[in-house]
Amino acid sequence: MGSTRSSHSNAYMYGFFKNKRIVLYDTLIQQCKNDEEIVAVIAHELGHWKLNHTMYSFIAVQILTFLQFGGYTLVRNSTDLFRSFGFDTQPVLIGLIIFQHSVIPLQHLVSFGLNLVSRAFEFQADAFAKKLGYGSALRAGLVKLQEENLSSMNTDPWYSAYHYSHPPLVERLAAIGEPDKKAD
């Protein structure tokens, strides 16, 4: 039971290769009006699996971690940087503090970029569920979950883009409701 500590309902997929799992909170199962809404949520999560979103996210985090270690190494080995802050030696802790403060603007940009990617993944997983024929059930399930979780209904687009990893409900419903584009 994923919801033993919360009344929020959620579903997510995790794992790689043969160890993938889809987790549905018991509150999600209780809140959905019918089995088709639950299957639509599962279809959305299967979209994340089919489109390799977990693997892409994992790789992105590994690359970012590697870049952070590399950036710290550059700061740690820069005697000029330490001297500019008044240090004749290069204490490890001071190097870490300088690095943390110098990358804050980059962290904001990376966080914004990761949220944009995550939001695109959500739209793709919604489209996958819609392609399987669960568009209307997914719409109904998303509305129900939004109501039950008491999520904000009308967020500022810029605030939402920066702070939220999932698009607002209105945007998701509009995307699900768009007619499918036929290849010419």
101 marked as part of a ligand binding site: no
Catalytic residue, candidates 35, 36, 37, 45: 45
User: Measured between alpha carbons, how far is 25 from 123 in angstroms, rounded to an integer?
Assistant: 21
**Helices and strands (DSSP H and E) totals, the chain:** 9, 2
Rg of the chain taking only CA atoms, in angstroms? 21
Catalytic residue, candidates 37, 126, 156, 171: 126
Burial 101-128 (b: 16+ CB within 10 A, else e): eebeeeeeeeeeeebeebbebbbbbbbb
Sign, Cα dihedral of 110, 111, 116, 122 = positive
37 marked as part of a ligand binding site: no
122 marked as part of a ligand binding site: yes
Residue 178 falls in the annotated catalytic set: no
Residue 148 falls in the annotated catalytic set: no
Q: Which residues contact 94 (CB under 8 A, 6 or more apart)?
A: 82, 85, 87
Which residue ranges make up the annotated binding site for Zn(2+)?
A: 44, 48, 122
Q: Summarize the annotated binding site as residue ranges.
A: 44, 48, 122
**Active site residues per annotation:** 45, 126
